[in-house]
Structure formats: structure tokens, C-alpha cells
Structure 1
Amino acid sequence: MLWTVETLDIVDAEIEALPSQLRARLVRLMETVERVGLETLREPHVKHLEGKLWELGVTASEGIARGMYVTMTGRRVIILHVFVKKSQKTPKAALTLARARMKQVIEWQSSPTLRKE
């Protein structure tokens, strides 16, 4: 069974706001998850943050981008928040936002605000 990668509507805008190389690499990584499966990827592409929260990571000459996500039943990856990383440590504000969106996603589970990327 293959994985699907979904984004919240607000995350689409966050992806669009990324510099072009970072955006392209993040989209390519999301497509890789769908093509080969999440379980085949390791650091630096996939990293566990805490609890159910994980991140996809890409680098380019423009910097570093992260996509925080949660996995759901049915091999679904739901991207909760995307941002350009400015320091080595994940910003607390990004974690707080991702946790809040994760809580909503878990409550919604089949909400129409989720769409396949």
C-alpha cells in the first residue's frame, strides 16, 4: 500500500512562500514519500520531533526548509506547517503551531480542508 501526502489549505500558502529551490526540493521529497514510502527515508530527510510529530527536511543554496507532519490511518502523511529554518534548533513558535494544527487534524480526521497534494 502506498503513502499519500496531504496538506492543509494554509500549508499550501506556506509552501508557495518558500524560495523556489526549497519549494521544489520539498515538493520532490513529498512525491518521494508517495513513490517509495515513508519507512524507506531516514535523516536528514525525515526526523522525529516528539510524540506523533515528525518533520521532512530539505536544503538548498537558499537555506533550509522544514515541513512538520503527522501520519494518519491509511498511510496518510498530513503536512501541518512549512517554514524556512533560521537556526539549528526548531523554533518554539513552529512547534506550537504544528501541535495546534495536529490537534485539529486528529479531531477532524476526514475534513474537506485536507486535500491530496
Structure 2
Amino acid sequence: MEIRILDASLERFIESLEKPMIAKVLRTIDLLEKFGPKLEPPHTKKISTHLFELRISGKQEIRIFYSFHKSQILLLHGFVKKSQKIP
């Protein structure tokens, strides 16, 4: 499946992370691209019918929301998780 970043702010967010976290994020995105909807926890979590969360753990807990559209995976928004609540 093809990965598509819908907003440049997500690219800036990823680039703002520390190098080891950038590597983990890119590795997890590669897994998502390779396995698509077959990727399972702990790497992903279903939030609602069409919204999913990519989960990257390390020094920081990174979350990236994504959705599927035809043969594409749309990366929507990323953030550093600081609590149990989804922003």
C-alpha cells in the first residue's frame, strides 16, 4: 500500500523528534506500508470505524492517526502522548 502524508505539519512534527525516535517512527511507518490493515497491536490500535492510531514507543510515546482510502494509507496527524486522553 502507498503511504501518503496529508499535511506538511506531520512531516515537520516527525522531523522535530530526536534522531532515535525519528528512526522508530519511520520503521513503524514501513511496517504499516508493508502489512497495511493486517498490522496488529502493539503497533496499531483502532480508534473508530475508519480511524486508526499508529503507536510508537520509546523515550517518548508517539501517536500518528491514519486512515485507509482505496489503496492508500493516509497519515493524518501526529503528537507526543502525555496522558491517557486522545487529543
Q: What's the TM-score once normalised by structure 1's chain length?
A: 0.66
Aligned residues between the structures: 86
Structure with greater helix percent: 1
Aligned to 1:26: 25
What aligned pairs does 1:1-117 form with structure 2 within 5 A after superposition?
3-8=1-6, 9-35=8-34, 37-60=35-58, 62-74=59-71, 76-91=72-87
Q: 1:64 is matched by which residue type in structure 2?
A: E
How far is 1:56 from its partner? 0.4
Q: What's the TM-score once normalised by structure 2's chain length?
A: 0.86
Q: 1:21 to 1:88 in 2, by over 3 A?
A: farther
Q: Which has the larger radius of gyration?
A: 1
Distance 1:23 1:82 in 2: 12
Contact 2:64–2:77 (Cα < 8 Å) also in 1:
yes
Distance 1:69 1:47 in 2: 10
Q: 1:33 is matched by which residue type in structure 2?
A: L
Percentage of pairs with the same residue: 30
What is the aligned-residue RMSD (CA, Å)? 1.4
Distance 2:80 2:22 in 1: 10
Unaligned runs of 5+ in 1: 92-117
